[in-house]
Amino acid sequence: MRAVALHPDVLLVTSALMALNCVIVRAGEGAAGETFVIDSPVLPEELESLPALLAQAGFPAPSGLLATHGDWDHLLGRLAFADLPLGCAQSTCSRLQDHPGEAQRELRAFDEDLYVVQRPRRLALGSLQALPVPGRLDIAERELELHEARGHTSDGMALRIPWAGILVAGDYLSRIEIPSLGQGSSIEDYLATLERLRPLVAGAAQVVPGHGPVSDGEGALAVLEEDVVYLRELRERGRGATLPRGRRGPLQKRLHEDNARVLGIAAGA
């Protein structure tokens, strides 16, 4: 696990697996300060170290967890902070309620495949707090902006931290991963999300994808343009679409095959 400060009020924790990013944001001072943990690392020892990491950085104990979307690898904050409320978009609440136990099953399969040692507790999502998306979320005397982000899955949100100039994009705008179409995904929704994110990216000092390195606004815009080209080609040519330069390795080719398969199913092929 790697932890770096993106801003005096923002920590980035990157898991040793999947290059998965967890963003920790604070606002306010002293007893009036407040902290939120956005998404999560993966490994048990990484999750167990989060409380100590926050204390060492001088951040207040977190008052809530936020998930950009309902994929299992973004929901593990509850394993570090079992009693905290978990906030997410209404679309994510609906997804998780419609598919009870899915995240737990996928986590269990992941752990079995990679011989991850037994976790100290079972993942329990508990009651979810549906957040207004698009909308704003108070954090001490400041606000986080919440923006709809569907397409990778049927649900999701991106978060903007205005005073830090940081956009937390969820599973979009990754320099190491092509756009992937997951549960309930849609190319049209994905393209609409990219256009919705475009002005936010252009005005961002830093963009944090769900997986992979942080980019500045210019770099993230370049990724966005490559993703638009890929998705349009995927829609028109299926498996014949050209993968973005720098994202053509074996894993990305498998993701591309999965994307083409999802499209085939959606089209009734």
Indicate whether 17 pLDDT > 70.
yes
210: amino acid identity, one letter: G
What's the confidence (pLDDT) of residue 266? 58
Indicate whether 16 pLDDT > 80.
yes
What's the confidence (pLDDT) of residue 184? 81
Q: Domain range spanning residue 220?
A: 2-266
β pairing state of 86-89 and 64-66: parallel
How does residue 265 score in pLDDT terms, banded at 50, 70 and 90?
low
What's the confidence (pLDDT) of residue 29? 81
How does residue 32 score in pLDDT terms, banded at 50, 70 and 90?
confident
Helices (H), 146-216: 187-202
β pairing state of 10-14 and 157-161: unpaired
- Residue 177 CA to its chain's centroid (Å): 13
Per-residue model confidence as pLDDT tens digits over 182-231: 878 899 999 999 999 999 999 999 999 999 999 999 999 999 999 999 99
Per-residue model confidence as pLDDT tens digits over 193-207: 999 999 999 999 999
Least confident of 6-15, 61-70, 135-144, 256-265: 256-265
Question: If we measure between CA atoms, which residue out of 126, 87, 88, 80 comes closest to residue 104?
Answer: 126
Least confident of 108-122, 152-166, 228-242: 108-122
Mean pLDDT over the full length of the chain: 94
> What is the CATH number for 182?
3.60.15.10
Beta strands in the chain (DSSP E): 2-7, 10-14, 21-27, 34-38, 64-66, 86-89, 128-131, 135-139, 142-148, 157-161, 166-168, 206-208
- What percentage of the chain has pLDDT greater than the value 70? 98
- Round to whole Å and give the CA distance between 145 and 83: 24
Question: If we measure between CA atoms, which residue out of 173, 180, 204, 145 comes closest to residue 254?
Answer: 180
Indicate whether 118 pLDDT > 90.
no
| Stretch 7-11: mean pLDDT | 97
What's the confidence (pLDDT) of residue 269? 44
Tell me if 24 sits within 8 A of 4, measured CB to CB. no
209: amino acid identity, one letter: P
- The full DSSP string for 235-255 is HHHGGGPPPPTT--SHHHHHH
- Round to whole Å and give the CA distance between 122 and 104: 8
Contacts (Cβ under 8 Å, ≥6 apart) of 52: none
- Total structural domains in the chain? 1
What's the confidence (pLDDT) of residue 212? 97
What's the confidence (pLDDT) of residue 77? 96
- Round to whole Å and give the CA distance between 257 and 241: 10
